[in-house]
Amino acid sequence: MAVTVSVPTILRTHTGGEKSVDASGSTVAEVIEDLDTRHSGIKGRLVKDGSLHRFINVYVNDEDVRFAGGLDAAVHDGDNVTILPAVAGGCAGS
Amino acid sequence: MLMIRRDLVDAMVAHARRDHPDEACGVLAGPAGADRPERIIEMLNSARSMTFYEFDSGDLIRLHRELESRDEEWVVFYHSHTATEAVPSRRDVDIAGYPEAHYVLISTRDPDTHELRSYRIIDGEVTEEPVEVVESYMFSHTGADDVPDAS
């Protein structure tokens, strides 16, 4: 399954500055694995302890994958995968 | 430096005051590449908390698409601290994922006066920047282009 992945500015150090890259896989996890083979280190920015990093949002065709199985969410040929860091924070220390 | 129109400052402060004591959050958007905030989009704090804020992930992708379609980008992410100063917390810094944006913090702990400060947060490093409040960008050189505001 060939998909297009939109990469946020903060991760473009891994993609040579590219904001959109190709990848393949039939689940979000496979897409991320494939991405990491071409853009070394990107997986570590997205996945922590076997699940999606709490403050990274991944969307397949604009649906948040957290509500569709997380890393196991299915992707299909031609899908658009978008990565957006969460916008969050607050005064509590850590 | 963040150059910002006074009406946008007033709108952010008003939003922060309205949601006090919960933290308020939102975006100032502007033309792509111009580094010039032109309009405010108040976001819902999905955490509805006095010590934490988070954009709903669905709201975030919808906003992203809206800005794309208008050839805009997020120039400022703002949020309020309602009991502490307008300085990024450790959690603010850990989570900050947009090195291209200005992070504006507004403190509403004092009922009479607010504190508003702006930062860049890049790779865990916080740099405060000056905020220049202007009535209009028309007579201010933004270094981006010479197109005046609609107002």
Find chain B residues with C-beta within 8 A of A66's C-beta: 57
B75 domain residue, yes or no: yes
Q: Please, what's the b/e burial string for B65-97 (b: 16 or more CB within 10 A of its CB; e: otherwise)?
A: eebeeeebbbbbbbbbbbeeebebbebbbebbb
The pLDDT score that the predictor gives to residue A74 is 96
Q: Count structural domains, chain A.
A: 1
Report the pLDDT averaged over residues A73-88: 97
Q: Which H helix or E strand runs over B109?
A: none
pLDDT at residue B145 tops 70: no
- The tens digit of pLDDT for each residue in B118-132 reads 999 999 999 999 999
CA–CA separation, B39 and B33 (whole Å): 15
Quick one: closest CA in A to B97, which residue?
Answer: A85
What's chain B's average pLDDT?
93
B80 domain residue, yes or no: yes
ipTM confidence: 0.94
Q: B71 is in which domain, residue-wise? A: 2-134
CATH number of the domain enclosing A25: 3.10.20.30
Find chain B residues with C-beta within 8 A of A61's C-beta: none
Q: Does the distance separating the beta carbons of B52 and A88 come in below 8 Å?
A: yes
> Taking the model in full, what pTM does it have?
0.92
Q: Does the distance separating the beta carbons of B61 and A62 come in below 8 Å?
A: yes
CATH number of the domain enclosing B19: 3.40.140.10
The pLDDT score that the predictor gives to residue B138 is 82
- The tens digit of pLDDT for each residue in B49-72 reads 999 999 999 999 999 999 999 999
Find chain B residues with C-beta within 8 A of A57's C-beta: 57, 60-61
- The tens digit of pLDDT for each residue in A11-63 reads 999 999 999 999 999 999 999 999 999 999 999 999 999 999 999 999 999 99
Find chain B residues with C-beta within 8 A of A86's C-beta: 54-55, 57, 60, 95, 97
Residues in chain A: 94
B143 domain residue, yes or no: no
- The tens digit of pLDDT for each residue in B72-119 reads 999 999 999 999 999 999 999 999 999 999 999 999 999 999 999 999
Query: Higher model confidence: residue B138 or residue A69?
Result: A69
| Chain B CB within 8 Å of residue A80 CB | no
Q: Count structural domains, chain B.
A: 1
Q: A50 is in which domain, residue-wise? A: 2-85
- Give B147→chain A minimum CA distance, Å: 26
Residue B144's nearest CA partner among B39, B29, B37, B7 is: B37
B43 domain residue, yes or no: yes
Report the pLDDT averaged over residues A70-82: 97
**pLDDT range class, residue A1, cuts 50, 70, 90:** confident
Q: Is omega for the bond preceding B99 within 30 degrees of 0, making it cis?
A: no
pLDDT at residue A88 tops 60: yes
Report the pLDDT averaged over residues B18-26: 96
Q: Does the distance separating the beta carbons of B65 and A90 come in below 8 Å?
A: no
The pLDDT score that the predictor gives to residue A94 is 43
- Give A85→chain B minimum CA distance, Å: 5
Q: Does the distance separating the beta carbons of A87 and B54 come in below 8 Å?
A: yes
Long-range contacts of A32-38 (CB under 8 A, 24+ apart): A32/A71, A35/A5
Choose from A55, A56, A84, A87 for mutation: most chain B CBs within 10 A: A87
Q: Does the distance separating the beta carbons of B52 and A87 come in below 8 Å?
A: no
User: Per the structure block, which two tokens stand in for B146?
Assistant: 């010479």
CA–CA separation, B59 and B73 (whole Å): 15
